[in-house]
Structure 1
Amino acid sequence: MLSALLLSALLLPLFLTGCGGGFAPVSSRDGYGPPPPGYYRIRRGDTLSEIARRQRVSMQRLADWNGLAPPYPIYAGRLLRVKPPQAGAPPRSGASKVAGAGTAGQKAASTPLTARPVSGADAASSGIRWQWPLSGPVKQGFRAGDRTRSGIRIAAPAGTPVGASADGTVVYSGSGLKGYGNLIIVRHSDRYLSAYGYNRRLLVREGERVKRGQSVAEVGEAPNGISLLHFEIRKDGVAVDPLRFLPASR
């Protein structure tokens, strides 16, 4: 689902990445000289949402013009189209590719789910202490390669506090990303993001540091009118099964 188009990460220096800037933070890459008209050369530390604000354009438009999918990973040194396609010249020969998710990540995202995940199986390797964002039954599970199931959906009454699943920095707080309603994206490390969608109310702002378990939002309703939280974890911009990181007990 953070695979349906998000907006302002994901994703943000990376989900996303991979929110998010978008949702995702910028990875370091070498530059290639001045950008052609209509393009911006991504700098280290840039996020898609910040670039969108500076260029006075919506983050969703930037994502659409550049073929970015949540959590919108961008890379320092690459070109990002910042004007409508007809308004800017194509990149010159030898210029770096327009920012986008790597093919390796796309292949990983399309790997089919073949077995029931083991709760917390990948938590130790992530180096992050994860916890459930709230208590409640999982009404829909993760399915690799399915953009409508890029996370899990946890049922809870509207207004239930949503806690950060780990310490981190808020890289997106808003409702501009299509398909997520009011959304919070938290960056936990250079590789990991978590996302919290369909909130009734957002309690933190972009750039704010949050602690594990700190309330970041309140549960709202999905488009079908059911009260629930859409929760995702992304590694290197690719959606992964949250149940492999969350502990068995809540």
Structure 2
Amino acid sequence: TKRLTRSRPTTSPAPRKVLPSKRVVVKRAPSISASVKPPPSRGGFLWPLNGGRVLSRFGTLGKGLQNDGINILAPRGTPIRAVQNGVVAYSGNELRGFGNLLLIKHTGGWISAYAHNDQLLVKTGDQVRRGQVVSRVGSTGSVDKPQLHFELRRKNRAVDPERYLGRRTASLRR
């Protein structure tokens, strides 16, 4: 009988242990405690800013791209309002592409997201009220013009914000 043996795989060059030259720190988005409940609200979601022009709508953009929110062109520094009472779940710039990003947790499993802000006026853990100015329009992240990228999520799933927002105060792009 012949005995079969497995040969050891070879690599070229021989493997070696690589030590990082610097300590690597991975930043995570802070999470909000489940015990922190957003304050209840009356009424629906407000439009997040006055004025502006809708540049891009929710949905498929073509070439395999998807917009999980809407983009509203507005002058740098335009006040952005909380669309509903809530608790700030994240306020920072660690998520690539979004620049200065704000996430607000609302009752009923809703989250609103505000990206590309010039200034963040609230911090993680703050309670905010419907209509409160929470940030200002900017062009941080992967955009070249001042704008707000706004998302609404229900139980972590993106939904078309225009179906849930109140009276539009941003004009439509024509």
TM-score (norm 2): 0.68
Give the CA deviation at 1:180. 0.7
Higher helix share: 1
Match of residue 138 from structure 1: 54
Q: Is it true that 1:228 corresponds to 2:143 in the alignment?
A: no
The 1:224–1:185 alpha-carbon spacing in structure 2 relative to 1, beyond 3 Å, is closer
Amino acid at match of 1:218: R
What displacement does 1:225 show? 1.4
Identify if the C-alpha distance between structure 1 residues 187 and 144 changes in structure 2 by more than 3 Å, giving closer, same or farther.
Answer: farther
Q: Which of 153, 159, 171 is the equivalent residue of 1:240?
A: 159
Aligned-partner Cα distance in 2 for 1:200–1:249: 22
What is the aligned residue count?
132
Deviation at 1:128, TM superposition (A): 5.6
Match of 2:91 in 1: 173
Unaligned runs of 5+ in 1: 1-55, 61-71, 76-126
- Is the CA contact (8 Å cut-off) linking 1:185 and 1:195 kept in structure 2? yes
Runs of 4+ in 1 over 2 A off after TM superposition: 144-148
Aligned-residue offset at 1:129: 1.9
* Aligned residue number for residue 156 of structure 1: 74
Code of the aligned partner of 1:221? S
Establish whether residue 58 from structure 1 lines up as the match of residue 21 from structure 2.
no
Q: Which runs of 5 or more structure 2 residues have no equivalent in the other structure?
A: 1-24, 35-41, 170-174
Cα distance in 1 between the residues matched to 2:88 and 2:43: 16
Instruction: Give the alignment's Cα RMSD to 1 decimal.
Output: 2.6
- Aligned equivalents of 1:139, 1:147: Cα separation in 2: 15
Offset from partner CA, 1:191-229 (integer Å, 9 cap, x none): 100000000110001110001111111110153411100
Distance 1:144 1:235 in 2: 19
Deviation at 1:58, TM superposition (A): 1.6
Task: Report which of the two has the higher share of strand.
Answer: 2
Matches within 5 A, 1:17-32: none
Residue 165 of structure 1 aligns with an amino acid whose one-letter code is V
Question: 1:193/1:200 Cα in 2 relative to 1: closer, same or farther (>3 Å)?
Answer: same
Structure 1 residue 137: Cα displacement: 1.5
SS of corresponding position for 1:139: strand
1:42 aligned partner: none
In our comparison, the structure showing a higher alpha carbon Rg is 2
Name the SS of the counterpart of 1:184 in structure 2.
strand
- Corresponding position of 2:12: none
1:120-177 CA-partner distances (Å, limit 9, x unpaired): xxxxxxx862101102111100006976400000111001111101110000000001
